Homo-oligomer: A and B are copies of this chain.
Amino acid sequence: MKNWEKNIRRVIPYTPGEQPNCPDMIKLNTNENPYPPAPGVEKAWGELDVPSLRLYPDPACSLLVNALAKRCGVGEDQVFVGVGSDDVLAMCFQTFFNSKKPVLFPDISYSFYPVWAELFGIPYETTALDEEFRIVKEEFYRENGGIIFPNPNAPTSLLLEQRDVEEIIAHNPDSIVIVDEAYIDFAGAPSAMKLLEKYDNLLVVQTFSKSRSLCGMRVGFAVGSPRLIRYLNDVKYSFNSYTMSLPALTLGAAAVADEAYFQETTRKICATRERSKEALRKLGFVFPEPAANFIFASHPKCDAKALFEALKERRIFVRYFDKPRINQYLRITIGTDAQMEALFGALEELVSKPVFENGY
Which A residues contact B (CB, under 8 angstroms)? 2-17, 19, 27, 30, 32-37, 41-42, 45, 48, 50-59, 83-84, 86-87, 90, 94-99, 115-116, 118-119, 145-146, 173-176, 200-201, 209, 213-218, 227, 231, 233-235, 237-248, 251
Contacts and interface: CB of A to CB of B under 8 A. Distances in A.
A342 B41 CA distance: 38
A240 B50 contact: no
Contacts of A119: 235, 238-239
Given A4-B174, A54-B35, A218 B242 contact: yes
Contact of A97 (B7, B17, B19, B251): B7
B55 A36 contact: no
B53 A213 contact: yes
Contacts of A216: 52-57, 245-247
Which 7 pairs from chain A and chain B are nearest by CB?
A36-B51, A3-B174, A16-B241, A216-B246, A53-B216, A7-B99, A16-B59
Contact of A42 (B10, B50, B59): B50
Contacts of A11: 234-235, 238
B8 A27 contact: no
Nearest to A97: B7
A96 to B, nearest CB: 6
A107 to B, nearest CB: 20
Nearest to A245: B218
Task: State how many copies of this chain the complex holds.
Answer: 2
A34 B135 CA distance: 55
Contacts of A10: 231, 234
A9 B121 CA distance: 13
Contacts of A244: 218
B243 A8 contact: no
A55 B11 CA distance: 27
A50 B41 contact: yes
A243 B87 contact: yes
A94 B34 CA distance: 37
B235 A9 contact: yes
Most buried by B among A5, A97, A115, A176: A5
Given A16-B59, A234-B13, A238-B115, A215 B54 contact: yes
Contacts of A84: 240, 242-243
5 contacts: A19-B56, A36-B51, A118-B238, A218-B242, A245-B247
Contact of A217 (B95, B174, B209, B245): B245
Most buried by B among A13, A14, A45, A53: A53
Given A7-B96, A7-B176, A218-B242, 13 more contacts: A8-B95, A8-B96, A11-B238, A14-B241, A42-B51, A45-B50, A53-B251, A56-B209, A83-B240, A86-B242, A90-B240, A216-B247, A218-B245
A83 B56 CA distance: 12
Given A9-B98, A54-B214, A4 B45 contact: no
